[in-house]
Amino acid sequence: MLAFICRRIALGFMVLTLATASLYVLVQLAPGDPASAMLGPRASPRIKAEFREKLGLDRPMPVQIVNYLIAVGQGDLGIDLKTKKPVVETIAAHAPHTIALVGAALLLATGLGIPLGAAAAVRRNSWFDRAIGLISVSLISIPPVVIAICGMLLFSAHLGWLPAIGAGEGFRDNILHLLMPAFAVGIGWVGYIARLVRASMIEVLGANYIRNAKSFGLTERMVTYRYALRASLSPTIAVLGVGVGVMLGSAAFAEIVFARPGIGKMMHDAVTLRNYPVTLGAVLCATALLVAATTLADILNALLDPRFKENRD
C-alpha cells in the first residue's frame, strides 16, 4: 500500500513537471515573440532585446525549459506586471477564495448528491427515482455561468436576499457571499453524483455478497447503507477527483459574475492588462491543484478498497 502511495505521488510530480514544461513550450510557440506580446506592440527593439535577455529567452530551448522548471520549483513564477510584486504573492492572495468555493461546491455535490442517489437506488423505478433522474440531467445541462447570472438577477437584484459581489468581511458574511457562487459551481455536480451513486448502488445491490449478507440476517437498512453505499463511494471519489478541474473552470465563471476575488477573477482581470506572468502562474497553480486532487482521490480509493491495487481506467 505504501509503495502504491509513493508511486502515485511520484507519478503526480512527473505529470506536473511535464505539464509545466509543456506550458512553457506552448507559450513560446505562440505567434509573434513573447517579448512583444508582454510589452505590447509599441515597445522599442532595444527594450525588447533587454527584456528577452533578462528572461533568458535568447538561450536554447532545452536550457530555457530547465531554467523555468528550476525557477518554478523554487516558487518563482515571475513578477506581476501590475503590482510589481512576485506572482506567487498575487496568487496566494486570491487562491483561498477559489479553494473555499470549490470546497463548498464539493460539499454541496456530495452532501446532496449521495443521499439523493442512494434514495433513488433503493426506490428503483418509482416516481421518486424518475423525478431524481430527470432533475439530475436537467441540472447537469445548465451551464454554471447561466446559473450564476440568473442567481444574481433573482436573489440579489430582485429579492435582495443575498449579497451580489465580493467575498465579504467576517465569517458570517463570508458564508453569505459563498452561497450563490457555490450553488452555481456545485449544483450540476449534485445531479452528476446522484446518478453515479444510483447506478453503482443498483449494480452492487444485485451482487452476490449483498444477497449473502441479507441471508445472514442483516437488516435491509444495514446492508444498504453499510455495504452498498460504501461500495458506490469509490467511483464517486474518482469522478470528483477529476471533477475538480471542471469545478475550477466553473469557479472562474462564478467569481467573474460575483466579482469574487479568486483565481478566475484574477486571471480575467490579468488578461485585459496582458499580465501574462499572472495568468500563466495561475494555470500552473490550478494544474497543481487538479493533480493533487486526482492523486488524493486515487490514494483515498486505494485506502477504502483493499482490492484496489492499481489505478484503473
Partner 1 sequence: MSASRIGFRVLLRDPMGLFGLVLAAVLILSALFAPLLASHDPAAIDVAVKLQPPSAAHWLGTDEIGRDTWSRVLYGGRVALAVALSATFLSVVFGGLLGLIAALGPRWLDQGLTLLFDTVRSYPVIILALAIGPIFGGGMVVLMGLLVATSVPYYGRIMRTSVIAEASSDYVEALRAMGMGRIRIALRHILPNVIGPILILASMDIPGFIMAEAGISFLGVGVKAPDTSWGMILDQGFRYIGHTPWLVIAGGAPLILATLGFTFLGEALRDAYDPRLKRRG
Give the residue ranges of DSSP H helices in 123-170.
127-141, 144-151
Q: How far is the CB of 79 from partner 1 (least distance, A)?
A: 16
CB of 197 to partner 1, least distance (A): 8
- By CB under 8 A, is residue 176 in contact with partner 1? no
3-state secondary structure of 86: strand
- Interacting stretch for partner 1, rule CB under 8 A, among 50-58, 103-111, 143-151, 298-306? 143-151
Out of 44, 74, 125, 141, the only residue in the binding site for partner 1 (CB under 8 A) is 141
Q: Which is nearer to partner 1, 175 or 230 (CB)?
A: 230
* Separation between Cα atoms, residue 286 and residue 249, nearest integer Å: 9
Residue 303 near partner 1 by CB under 8 A: no
Q: How many CA atoms lie within 13 A of 178 on its CB side?
A: 21
Q: Which is nearer to partner 1, 174 or 311 (CB)?
A: 311
276-304 helix and 87-122 helix, angle to the nearest 10 degrees? 40
Residues in contact with partner 1, total (CB under 8 A)?
65
Residue 43 interacting with partner 1 (CB under 8 A): no
Minimum distance, C-beta of residue 275 to partner 1, in the bound complex (Å)? 10
Interaction residues for partner 1, span 222-281 (CB under 8 A): 235, 239, 242, 244-246, 248-250, 252-253, 256-257, 263-264, 267-268, 271, 274, 276, 279-280
User: What's the Cα-to-Cα distance from 279 to each of 56, 229, 246, rounded to whole Å?
Assistant: 20, 41, 18
Residue numbers 146-165 binding partner 1 by CB under 8 A: 146, 149-150, 152-153, 157
Let me know the angle formed at the C-alpha of 17 by 301 and 290, rounded to the nearest 5 degrees.
40
Residue 290 is a binding residue for partner 1 (CB under 8 A): yes
Asked if residue 25 binds partner 1 (CB under 8 A), the reply is no
Place of cell 451513486: 197
CA distances from 266 to 15, 74, 105, 177, 210 (A): 25, 22, 20, 17, 50
Cα of first residue to Cα of last residue in the chain, in angstroms, is 19
Strand partners, 86: 79
In the bound complex, what is the minimum distance in angstroms from residue 195's beta carbon to partner 1? 5
Evaluated on CA atoms 175, 181, 187, 189, the torsion sign reads negative
Rounded to 5 degrees, φ, ψ at 169 are -120, 135
Residue whose CB is less far from partner 1, 175 or 242: 242
Q: Does 301 bind partner 1 (CB under 8 A)?
A: no
Report the distance separating Cα 238 and Cα 293, nearest Å.
9
Question: Is the Cβ–Cβ distance between 253 and 264 less than 8 Å?
Answer: yes
Of 5, 15, 176, 237, which one interacts with partner 1 (CB under 8 A)?
15
> Which residues are at the interface with partner 1 (CB under 8 A)?
11, 14-16, 18-19, 22-23, 26-27, 30-31, 37, 134, 137-138, 140-146, 149-150, 152-153, 157, 192, 195-196, 199-200, 203, 235, 239, 242, 244-246, 248-250, 252-253, 256-257, 263-264, 267-268, 271, 274, 276, 279-280, 282-283, 286-287, 289-291, 294, 313
